[in-house]
Amino acid sequence: MTVKETIDRLRSELHRHNYNYYVLNSPEISDKEFDDMMSELQDLERENPEYQDNNSPTMRVGSDLNKNFTQVEHRYPMLSLGNTYSESEVADFYERVQKGLNEDFEICAELKYDGTSISLTYENGKLIRAVTRGDGEKGDDVTDNVKTIRTIPLILHGNNYPPLFEIRGEILLPWVVFEKLNEEREAREEPLFANPRNAASGTLKSQNSSVVASRKLDAYLYYLLGEELPYDGHYENLQEASKWGFKISSHMKKCHSLADIFNYINYWDVERKNLPVATDGIVLKVNSIRQQRNLGFTAKSPRWAIAYKFQAERALTRLNKVTYQVGRTGAITPVANLDPVQLAGTVVKRASLHNADIIENLDLHIGDMVYVEKGGEIIPKITGVDKDTRGMLLGEKVKFITRCPSCGSNLIRYEGEAAHYCTNETACPPQIKGKIEHFISRKAMNIDSLGPEKVDAFYNSHLIKDVADLYTLTVEDIKQLDRMGQKSAENIINGIAKSKEVPFERVLFALGIRFVGETVAKKLARSVKDIDELQDAGIEMLKNIDEIGEKIAQSIVAYFQNAANRILVERLKSVGLQFSRKEEAVNYSDKLSGQSIVISGVFSKHSRDEYKDIIEKHGGKNSGSISAKTSFILAGENMGPAKLEKADKLGIKIISEEEFIDLIS
């Protein structure tokens, strides 16, 4: 047998034994035999570097060389799921799916593992890239670190996998490994990890892959993506993926009714405590990929999936004082400062009190013993007071403030809202800095060389007082500040200059108009030709735009009625920001100009969201409801009977998917 043949044999056997031991939990050989084989392979690879392979089992031991991470754009965005904490909201989700599909469907229920998200790409059966979630659009390439995780296959089994696909999952630290790790850190007098999730996340981002290898991370994979998947069913695809060598949870279940879902939730709410890894809820997904496509996405999450979170842990601790924070919109948030208490794996010292009504309903006094929970086991909040422990030394009653804690301006509470607001939009420091931080954020102008600390330094040094001032900064202005050299200053100026290329819809979002999030900004940018048309738009015109209601329309009008905001926009226009819609050279027309179109039913060629985009590209407007103004209905299979009846009553034309494609061709 040649050296190359020996190396190939050892690699193949070690991959198989690794899978048997770490995924199937049924080893065929002893640890010593495995180690001897690994040692032999390492020696052969060292002596014969011409046979180097990035997916060799020897890659799992890691390297002690430091390595900076590069950012990689996700082929498919990694969106977060909508969360719910009640069975009634699960029922609402189920009914929305029923209404959206108007056909039979299955729900795949699975455990929500509490780790750090990862995306793995395989080409021709080999792992080629592992990327963290990051901001959902881009993440860090941590391939070398992930190769040390023995439950993640480097080479797939069999030969019936797609030539190129992505699989996503959760990197975890098992409880027993977490506890042992903290014992070792305590013995070395190092800071302890707060919980397994933090430990897994910190380990995965270590720049020393040999450290990652020593931590014994685990992984469960739960989502397969690609153009040539074996089945239409999510559940069926994962069962197939388990045959390729992936560690897939054996606790997934297909549900055919709400009763099935609730039985699954109730069982795992108790049984999860016996699992070897941390979980914090249940994920419910429409099983059919075709149906998933038709349901589509909101700006932040899929409409075909939801996460049910288990009820949070609760702890009792003392309230020492209440402080107040000012947000970029001027909203005032009261914060409880507490005696430190351990809760769901972390030490909690502060908790949100949300608004004046909650403070009043709790009847809070300084010195009270209060119950603290973590909403979704993430954000601490006070849920009650132990009034039986109140004694003679009870402090004063907590009363909501009447003036801004930063600038001293009077606070106002708008009708129908729970929050109080500082009205000093243009001169309240936290609001100004908050608006600048929002403006430079990744989903807005994406000036990634800046951050909150630099914004704070620029503002305190009187270099900027609003977002337009960013575009007047020079390298000389910046490099004079503490801990700011020539290179850093140049990077910032280059980043600011590059932001002038950001498209109209993101510039609109960056302005921070109240109620104008990413989705609304996109709708506006596709419905008006430029910022001048938007500035002059009235409430009725704005309400004719898809998904723009009375509240959003009023907010937009009020923003542009403020002279200071108009001046700010003019200053931003003068420095070259994109304040008009750029039409693409291809695939655009005016064939649907002036037409209001309603979409209903299930489609085969495109998803609903894709059809909405196509309608807008061809000059049409999407409408969510049928009226006398509706031009026609684009109908797929199983159109809702109520819409069909209303269309017939009003004499609205109904066209099929094929007819629509012919119409715009």
Q: What is the 3-state secondary structure (H, E, C) of 613-662?
A: HHHHHCCCEEECCCCCCCCEEEECECCCHHHHHHHHHHCCEEEEHHHHHH
Residue 377 has what pLDDT? 46
Q: Per-residue confidence at 545, pLDDT binned at 50, 70, 90?
A: confident
pLDDT tens sequence across 433-474: 999 999 999 889 999 788 888 999 999 999 999 999 999 999
Residue 372 has what pLDDT? 92
Which residue type occupies 215?
R
Q: Where are the domains of the chain?
A: 3-61, 83-309, 314-412, 429-501, 504-574, 596-664
> Could you give the maximum distance between any two Cα atoms of the chain, in Å?
88
Q: Does residue 490 contact residue 471 with C-beta atoms inside 8 Å? A: no
Residue 32 has what pLDDT? 67
Q: Per-residue confidence at 506, pLDDT binned at 50, 70, 90?
A: very high
Instruction: Copy the structure tokens of residue 496.
Output: 């600011």
Instruction: Copy the structure tokens of residue 111.
Output: 């455990």
Q: Give which of 209, 226, 223 is closest to 123, Cα–Cα.
A: 226
Q: Does residue 360 carry a pLDDT above 70? A: yes
Q: Per-residue confidence at 373, pLDDT binned at 50, 70, 90?
A: confident
Q: Per-residue confidence at 22, pLDDT binned at 50, 70, 90?
A: low
Going by their DSSP bridges, the two strands 138-140 and 314-326 should be labelled as unpaired
pLDDT more than 90, % of the chain: 52
pLDDT more than 70, % of the chain: 94
In DSSP notation, 312-327 reads PPEEEEEEEEEEEEE-
Residues 112, 454, 522, 523: which is the catalytic one? 112
Instruction: Using the structure block, give the residue that is written with the tokens 């593992």.
Output: 113
Determine the average pLDDT of the residues in 566-583.
92
pLDDT tens sequence across 169-218: 999 999 888 888 888 876 766 667 767 888 888 888 877 777 788 888 99
Q: Which CATH number fits domain 429-501: 2.60.200.20, 3.30.450.20, 1.10.150.20, 3.10.310.70?
A: 1.10.150.20
- Radius of gyration for the alpha carbons in the chain, expressed in angstroms and rounded: 28
Instruction: Using the structure block, give the residue that is written with the tokens 């809070």.
Output: 364
Instruction: Using the structure block, give the residue that is written with the tokens 């993506």.
Output: 225
Residue 344 makes CB contacts below 8 A (sequence gap 6+) with 195, 312, 313, 374, 377
pLDDT tens sequence across 308-325: 988 777 889 999 999 999
Is residue 95 exposed (0-12), middle (13-18) or buried (19+ Cβ within 10 Å)? Answer: exposed
The CATH-assigned architecture of domain 3-61 is Orthogonal Bundle (1.10)
Question: What's the CA gap between 510 and 499, in Å, rounded?
Answer: 11
Phi and psi (nearest 5°) for 568?
-60, -45
Q: Does residue 659 carry a pLDDT above 60? A: yes
Residue 88 makes CB contacts below 8 A (sequence gap 6+) with none
Residue 346 has what pLDDT? 65
Q: Which CATH number fits domain 83-309: 3.40.720.10, 3.30.470.30, 3.30.428.10, 3.30.413.10?
A: 3.30.470.30
Instruction: Copy the structure tokens of residue 646.
Output: 């209303």
Q: Per-residue confidence at 579, pLDDT binned at 50, 70, 90?
A: very high
Q: Does residue 430 carry a pLDDT above 90? A: yes
| Mean pLDDT for the chain overall | 88
Q: Per-residue confidence at 65, pLDDT binned at 50, 70, 90?
A: very low
pLDDT tens sequence across 375-424: 544 568 898 999 888 877 788 999 999 999 999 999 999 887 889 999 99
SS3 578: coil
- Tell me which H or E stretch contains 609: helix 608-617
Q: What is the CATH number of domain 314-412?
A: 2.40.50.140
Helices (H), 339-408: 356-362
Annotation marks residue 443 as catalytic:
no
Q: Does residue 118 carry a pLDDT above 80? A: yes
Residue 462 makes CB contacts below 8 A (sequence gap 6+) with none
Same CATH topology for 314-412 and 504-574: the answer is no
In DSSP notation, 5-45 reads HHHHHHHHHHHHHHHHHHTSS--SS-HHHHHHHHHHHHHHH
Residue 198 has what pLDDT? 80
Question: What's the CA gap between 192 and 411, in Å, rounded?
Answer: 42
pLDDT tens sequence across 621-651: 888 788 888 999 999 887 877 788 888 889 9
Instruction: Copy the structure tokens of residue 493.
Output: 């100026």
Q: Does residue 587 carry a pLDDT above 70? A: no
Instruction: Copy the structure tokens of residue 585.
Output: 């050279």
Q: In CATH, what class is 596-664?
A: alpha beta
Q: Give which of 282, 163, 276, 285 is closest to 223, Cα–Cα.
A: 285
Exposed e or buried b for every residue in 9-24, given b needs 16+ CB within 10 A?
ebbebbbebbbebbbe
Number of neighbours of residue 392 by Cβ within 10 angstroms: 4
CATH 1.10.150.20 fits 504-574, yes or no: yes
pLDDT tens sequence across 124-149: 999 999 999 887 888 889 999 999 99
Beta bridge partners of 73: 138
Q: Per-residue confidence at 561, pLDDT binned at 50, 70, 90?
A: very high
Question: What's the CA gap between 336 and 333, in Å, rounded?
Answer: 10
Q: Per-residue confidence at 326, pLDDT binned at 50, 70, 90?
A: very high
Going by their DSSP bridges, the two strands 314-326 and 369-375 should be labelled as antiparallel
Question: What's the CA gap between 631 and 611, in Å, rounded?
Answer: 16
Instruction: Copy the structure tokens of residue 195.
Output: 């919980």
